[in-house]
Structure 1
Amino acid sequence: MNIKSLLIGSAAALAAVSGAQAADAIVAAEPEPMEYVRVCDAFGTGFFYIPGTETCLKIGGYVRFQTDFGRDQLGTSDWDSWTRARVTFDAKSDTELGTLTSFIAIHGEASKKESGGGTSGFKVDEAYIELGGFRVGTFLNWWDDDLIGETDVSSNVTRFTSARYVYDGGTFRAGISVDEINTDDYLVALPSSGNEVGVSGMIGTTLGGVNFELLGAYDTYTEEGALRAWLSADVGPGTFELMGYYASGDNVYFNAAKWSVAADYSFKATDKLTITPGAQYFGDYELVKGIDAWKAGLTVDYTIVENLKLKATVNYIDIDKQDDSVEGFLRLQRSF
């Protein structure tokens, strides 16, 4: 073998090694197995499994644009347009003690005159933990449920930081709640005493198309209470509702009147259109003896497309020794 052959062989060997190293450098690693989001149908539509867990999560909410009209605090005609954004997170999982739930609702409003104008920051509207029939946290009380239309006044404060228990046997349900009270929520502002606690209870039954619910509440701060009875029934093409109210005095649960009666009838005119006329009478309006009032109105709900709805309501109000007034709102809401 001469020198020329040796050099050519060495160069060929080096080229082969370099080519092998270059080929090794550009070989892509195999991708790791990917875990896809799985649908969770154990708790209803919209839930999915959080990857790597057995917890199901549902994200929802809405965007609302609304224009209110009526009299302002000075008694002159006024209107106010505002928007709200709300996002909810509902997490559920099965345990040996029943369904474990954690719920968070966050929302904010912009350009609403009651909040001082401008843009308000987001706040936690509800946040609670629930296991079995027990729930603790900040959430809406049973008093928040009202008639289908937008004419009735069925409660005062409805959001409390509470601890409650509910038994739900299907046709029969009952519950009790211990609620923390804010002293700013009365008709007349009262000083704090360190004893701001309320107790509210609920019993209800549903048989066929008939539903009955009775609420009772006692405000330990003012030592006053309230009662509310609610009957609803499917009648013809719609639903008829009747509510009766009583308040012994000023309390956080209901203080619109000493006593009151409200009713409405909601019926679907078409698949997209629902019309709800309603009325309410107040005895000793705002707990002022001898001052009565009545209210009548109409609420219209229209589904423009799926998840986009238009709601409009107009109410006429007549209060003794005051001028009559008209108020209402127009609302556009996109839910998801």
Structure 2
Amino acid sequence: MNIKSLLLGSAAALAAVSGAQAADAIVAAEPEPVEYVRVCDAYGTGYFYIPGTETCLKINGYIRFQVDVAPNASSIGAGGGGSVPNDSDWDARTRGQVQFTAKSDTEYGPLTGVIVMQFNADNASAQKAILDSAYIDIAGFRAGLFYSWWDDGLSGETDDIGSPVTLHNSIRYQYETDAFYAGISVDELEDSPFYNGETANNVGVAVGLGGKAGAFSYQITAGYDTDNEEGAVRAMGTVAVGPGTLGLAVVYASNPNAYYNKAEWAVAAEYAIKATDKLKITPAVQYYNNYGITAGEFNDDNDAWKVGLTVDYQIVDNLSTKISVQYLDPDNASDVTSGFFRLQRAF
């Protein structure tokens, strides 16, 4: 056998073996398709589809550093959540807040769920995590833990026209259009400083309506505290005037209650000046009649004045600072000067 015959025989043998094993060839499995996060633009910017669902999710929040300055500084300008009081004339605090908003379409309109977690630190050893809000919204109905209309106020930091506790377990219905809203809520008031815990009437009923008409906006809010059998009502409005916005508010309470407890009645005014695209300056004043509480009732013949200045500056996109100084002068008590500096990064 010569070399040529040997080579031809070997080639034929290899071809036969390859043909016999062709049916057993290994085939690579197709990779499973990857579902990338899709943008959801049905409800505004920032939403994306939760993979595998038709539910849209938005995550946003802020990081805040604040220094309060006041006698026994505790929570000047806290903006919800409060802080731990101390015996110092100043108090540095840090807060982180994250909000999750989920939305999906139904035959009754958008179904919304909101969870807001807040983390407060007076210092490294005094930290507190709280559920700041958690509620369900559909077809105008809202149920859960959320802020009432009494949490609203003017844009500066001087006005003191809200309730002492504005976050409640509540159920409400609100009808709204682009220029008008009106609603009613039933609020659990166990967190109110005026709930004595001796009755089952730890509920309140609040109503709110408001809207816009050109450069003018308005809001009327009322609440009745069934435990104390007392109520309060407030009217508030803003209008664009010159380079800024004029804000006015008046509030009346029949006696101290869960919805208002600072004075029998009060009037607040401010002028928010848009000095530049980044700078807003807001001087403001408030007058209180029968200011303060003694034996569960407002103090007769004790009026008070409050004046203040708030400066907001947008450093860059999503980074802002706020400085506020307030002076309170009651007739029958010592005057108090307070203020705070805030640095906040939103996302």
Instruction: Return the TM-score normalized by structure 2.
Output: 0.86
Q: 2:139 aligns with which of 127, 132, 139?
A: 132
The percent of aligned pairs where both chains have the same amino acid is 51
1:30-109 equivalences in 2 (<5 Å): 30-72=30-72, 78-109=89-120
| 1:153-232 paired onto structure 2 within 5 Å | 153-155=160-162, 156-182=164-190, 184-186=192-194, 190-232=196-238
- The 8 Å contact of residues 183 and 192 in structure 1, kept in 2 or not, is answered as no
Q: Which runs of 5+ in 1 are unaligned?
A: none
One of 239, 244, 247 as aligned partner of 1:241: 247
Whether 1:119 aligns to 2:126 is yes
Does structure 2 retain, via aligned residues, the 8 Å contact 1:173–1:203? yes
CA–CA distance in 2 between the matches of 1:9 and 1:233? 98
Offset of residue 168 of structure 1: 0.7
- The verdict on how the C-alpha distance between 1:33 and 1:304 changes in structure 2, with shifts beyond 3 A counting, is same
* Contact map agreement 1:183 1:196 (CA 8 A) in 2: no
1:319 Cα deviation from its structure 2 partner = 1.1
Note the alpha carbon deviations across 1:229-249, whole angstroms, 9 max, x for none. 001111111111100000111
Q: Partners in 2 of 1:237 and 1:277 — Cα distance?
A: 14
Instruction: List per-residue Cα deviations over 1:60-101 (Å, max 9, x = no partner).
Output: 000000000111189986000010010000011121111110
2:70 aligned counterpart, secondary structure: strand
* Distance in structure 1 (CA, Å) of the matches to 2:179 and 2:214: 9
Q: Is the 8 A contact 2:192 2:258 kept in 1?
A: no
Q: Distance in 1 between matches of 2:200 and 2:334?
A: 40
Change (3 A) 1:120 1:208: same
In structure 1, how many angstroms separate the alpha carbons of the residues matched to 2:43 and 2:208? 25
Asked whether the 8 Å contact 1:266–1:275 carries over to 2, the reply is yes
What is the Cα deviation at residue 175 of structure 1? 0.3
Q: Classify 1:109/1:183 alpha carbon distance in 2 versus 1 (closer, same or farther; 3 Å).
A: closer
What is the DSSP-based 3-state SS (H/G/I as helix, E as strand, rest coil) of the residue aligned with 1:143?
helix
RMSD of aligned residue pairs (Cα, Å): 2.8
Secondary structure in 2 matching 1:109: strand
Task: Give the 3 Å change call, closer, same or farther, for CA 146–164 of structure 1 in structure 2.
Answer: same
SS of equivalent to 1:179: strand
- Tell me, yes or no, if the aligned pair for 1:215 and 1:228 is still in contact at 8 Å: yes
- Residues 74-83 or 236-245, more deviating: 74-83
TM-score (norm 1): 0.89
**Over residues 146-178 of structure 1, what are the superposed CA-to-partner deviations in whole Å (9 max), with x where a residue is unaligned?**
110001112121100000000113333210000
- CA shift, 1:55, in A, is 1.1
Taking the aligned partners of 1:218 and 1:72, their CA distance within structure 2 comes to: 33
Matched, 1:255 2:261: yes
Structure 1 runs, 4 residues or longer, greater than 6 Å off: 73-77
Distance 1:150 1:289 in 2: 26
Q: Counterparts in 2 of 1:135-150, with a 5 A limit?
A: 135-150=142-157
Do structure 1's residue 333 and structure 2's residue 344 form an aligned pair? Answer: yes
Aligned pair count reads: 325
